Amino acid sequence: MMYNVKPYIHLFFITIMVVACMPCIFAQSGYRMWLDYRPLDNDLAIRYREQLRTLVFPITGETDSVAHAELLEALNGLLGHEPSHADTSNGPGILLVGSASTLPATGPVSEALALLPEHDDAYVIYSGVYGENPCTVILGGSDKGVLYGVYAFIASLQCGEDITQLSKVACPKIQLRLLNHWDNLDRTVERGYAGFSLWDWHRLPGYRDPRYTDYAKANASLGINGTVLNNVNANARILTQPYLEKAAALADIFRPYGIKVYLSARFSAPVELGGLADADPHNPAVQRWWKEKASEIYRHIPDFGGFLVKANSEGQPGPQNYDRNHADGANLLADALKPYGGVVMWRAFVYEDTEPEDRAKQAYNEFVPLDGQFRDNVIIQVKNGPIDFQPREPFHPLFGVMPQSQLMMEFQITQEYLGFATHLVYLGTLFSEVLQSDTHRHRPNSTVAQVIDGSMNPQPLTAIAGVANTGTAINWTGHPFAQANWYAYGRLAWDPDVDASAIAEDWLRQTFGNNDTFVHDVLPLMMRSREAAVNYMTPLGLHHLMGWDHHYGPGPWIKDKPRADWTSVYYHQADKDGIGFDRTAIGSDALGQYAPEVQAKFENPQTCPDEYLLWFHHLPWDFRMKSGRTLWDELCHRYYGGVETVAAIQATWAAQKNRVNNDTFQEVADLLAMQYEEAKIWRNACVLYFRQFSGMPIPDGLEHPEHPLEYYENLHVHVIPGI
C-alpha cells in the first residue's frame, strides 16, 4: 500500500525541530538553576579536560552513586568530556574523589586528610601531586562530605577557577540547615508565589515525580540537609498513616542527598486524631499518644528529623490552652522523639490573644523566663526580627539572651513582604545584615551568627531554617532572580559569615555562565536591590505598612481591624506631631530588651542609624536628620530614591540583552517594569498618606504623584497568590 507522505512531511519536520529545540527550551526555562552545566568557554574546557583525564571514585553506597553521577553529568556538560575511570592510576590529570575510608591514604590523599576537619559534612578540595603528576583530590568526612565536595568542585569549574591551586577546606558552621515549606495538603502554599506545592500528595507514594530528585540535588548542592514538608499552620492529617507513607517516599528520595524529612505538628493532634479530650502536656494519655505517634513515624521514616511547631500563635493551639507554658509543650514532643534522635523546633513567633502594648516585645517576654527549661533536643526557632520578616527589622532581641537554651534562626526566603515573586530583591544582603548584627551579649562583636552557630553559648544542637520560595513554577521560584535567594540562604546556612556579594557573584556565574562583563554589571544591581525595596516600601525604620491580609502593595492607612497590631497605624503612629514607634524607655521600652551597648546605639535619635530611626523613635516632622534635611524631606527623598534605583536597575538589565537567553532576559525585563510601576505606587501612596499628617510639601525637584491619595487607597490587587 502506498502512502502519500506529502501532507505529513511538514509535521515530520516540525516534530524534529520541536524535539531538537527541547533541550534549549528546557535550559532557557531556568529549571536547572545554578546546576545548568552548559559548555564552558572552549579554552577553559580544553585546559580542564587535560587536568581531569582520569577519575578515581570508589562507590560504596547510594550517596556516592548520586555524587558520581552528578560529577559525570557536570563534566560532560561543562567540558564535553567524560574522564576515563581507574581504580588508582599514576598518569597525569587524575581526579581522586572519596573519603578516608574509600581512598588509599597515601600521597596527596594523606595531605588532604591532614586538612580535613573532623565532621561528616566537611570536605577538602586539594591540588596535589600524585607520583610526578599534578592531581586533584576531593576528600569528604563521609559520603555526605564527598557529595558536598563534588558540588563545590563543580561550582569551581563553573566559575572558571584555577583547579591546579585549590586548597579549599569547608566545614558547616551550623548542623541542621533546613527549608521550611509552608505547603498545605491541598497543594496551596501559604505565602507561596511560585505556583503550587511541589509535593503531589495525591499521587504519592505511587508516583515519584523526578522533580523531587532535582529538588534534592539543588538543596544538596548548597548543603541544605533537612526539609519540613508542611505548613507551620499545620493540618493534623499529616501525621496519619497515609500521609506518613507519602512523606516516607519523599524521605527515601531525599536520603541519598543527605536530606532528612521533618514535619510540622499540630499541637492538638491528640484530640483531632486520637480522640482524646485534650492535648494537655501534663495529661499522661496525651504523652502516651505522642510516644506512640513517634514510634509509628519512625517505623515509616527511620531517620525522621523531628517536628516543627507553631503553638499559641495566630490562633494555633498550644500548651497555653491548658495553662502550661511553651517549655511544657516543647518538652512533651521532645520526650516522644528522644529515643529516636529526633528534635523539636519550637517557634518563638508567638503572640497572645489579647493585644500587647508592643508586639515586638512579646517573644522575649514569654521565652526568656523559660531559659534552661527546655530539653536538650528542643531548639527555639526565632525569626530574624521581632515583628515579622519586614523589609528591614533590627535583629530579634532573643538572640544571645537565653544562654541555657538552644536557639536557631528562621529567615523568610519567600518574599511575603518584599514584592512576592514579582520584585527583584536579592536577600543575601538582608540575611547577612542580621547575621552580622552585634548582640553585645558576650563581648564586642558577639554576632547573631555566633549565637546560632553555637560559638557564643555552646549549644550541642545548631540549626537554621528558611521559609522556602519554591513551587511548581518551571523555574521553581517564579522570579528568575528569586533563585538567588534560595541559593544565598543555603550558602549562609553552611557558613553565616560568607560575604553576600561573593555569594551573589557565584550564583551569577553558575546560573548565567562565567561572563565577567555580565557579572560586573549585574552584581551591583543585585546588591542594591534590597535597599531599593526598603526605600520604596518602608524607609527609615518604618514597618508593617503593607496591604491588608495579602501583604502586597502599600496600605499605610490600614486601621480598625480585629487586632490593633494587625494594622499599619499601630506601627507608624503618624499624626500631626510626628511619625514612628517610640520603643525607648519612655515609650514601649522594647529597646530595653537589648544589651546596654545596643540600647546606647539606638536610644538617641541624634545618633540612631537612619535605617532604624522610626523603628525606635517617634519624631516630629521637622526633626533634623543627619543629612541636614527635615525628617519629612528625608522620608520623601528615600521613597523617591527607591524608585530611582529600580529605574537604574532596569537600565542595567536592558543592557544585558545579548548576554542572557531571550526568555530570561524578557521575563526579568517585564518583571522589572512591573516592579517600577509598583514601586511608584508604594512611593506615591505612602508620601501622600503621610503628607496629610506632616502638612508639608513634597520637596522641590521631586515629581508630584500623578493621582490623589484616594486613588491609591482604592486600588485593588485582583489576583493574589499565597494567602
Which residue in the block uniquely carries the three cell numbers 569549574? 157
- Contacts of residue 578, defined as CB under 8 A and 6 or more positions apart, other chains included, come to 618, 619, 620, 621, 623, 631
Query: Among residues 84, 48, 256, which one has the least CA distance to residue 161?
Result: 48
Of positions 191, 375, 543, 691, contacts ligand BDP by CB under 6 A? 191
Toward ligand BDP, which CB reaches closer, 170 or 387? 387
Is position 388 an interface residue for ligand BDP (rule: CB under 6 A)?
A: yes
Q: Looking at beta carbons, which residue is closest to ligand BDP?
A: 388
Decide whether 530 or 637 has the Cβ nearer to ligand BDP: 530
- Which residue number, 549 or 670, has a Cβ lying nearer to ligand BDP? 549
- Polymer length of the chain: 723
Q: What is the DSSP letter of 457?
A: S
Catalytic residue among 62, 186, 296, 314: 314
CB 394, min distance to ligand BDP, A: 17
- # of chain residues touching ligand BDP (CB under 6 A): 10
Residues 66-95 touching ligand BDP, rule: CB under 6 A, are none
396 near ligand BDP (CB under 6 A): no
30, three cell numbers = 531556568
Catalytic (active site) residue 388: yes
Residue 505 interacting with ligand BDP (CB under 6 A):
no
Task: Tell me how far apart the alpha carbons of residues 425 and 710 are, in angstroms, rounded to a whole number.
Answer: 28
Residues 304-323 that bind ligand BDP (CB under 6 A): 310, 314
Which residue lies nearer to ligand BDP by CB, 416 or 678? 416
416 is catalytic: yes
With beta carbons less than 8 A apart as the criterion, state whether 135 and 88 touch: no
Measured between alpha carbons, how far is 723 from 195 in angstroms, rounded to an integer? 12
The smaller minimum CB distance to ligand BDP, of residues 283 and 321, is found at: 321
565 contacts 355 by C-beta, under 8 angstroms: yes
**Residue pair 678/419 in contact by the 8 Å Cβ criterion:** yes
Residues 150-189, one symbol each (x = binds ligand BDP by CB under 6 A, - = not), give ----------------------------------------
Residue type, 62: E
Q: How far is the CB of 263 from ligand BDP (least distance, A)?
A: 16
C-alpha dihedral (410, 416, 419, 422), degrees to nearest 10: 100
Look at residues 184, 346, 363 and name the one whose alpha carbon lies nearest to residue 267. Answer: 346
Show the binding pattern over residues 225-244: x = contacts ligand BDP (CB under 6 A), - = does not: -------xx-----------
The C-alpha atoms of residue 193 and residue 173 are separated, in whole angstroms, by: 30
Active site residue 597: no
For helices 631-654 and 516-537, give the axis angle rounded to 10 degrees.
Answer: 150
Name the catalytic one among 388, 393, 506, 531.
388
* 48, 307, 346, 349: residue in contact with ligand BDP (rule CB under 6 A): 349
Minimum distance of ligand BDP from residue 310's CB (angstroms): 5
What's the distance, Cα to Cα, between the start and end of the chain in Å? 61
Whole-angstrom distance, CA of residue 605 vs CA of residue 103: 61
Q: Distance between CA atoms of 14 and 611, rounded to whole angstroms?
A: 57
Q: Least CB distance from residue 412 to ligand BDP, whole Å?
A: 7
Which residues contact ligand BDP (rule: CB under 6 A)? 190-191, 232-233, 310, 314, 349, 388-389, 416
State the catalytic residues: 314, 388, 416
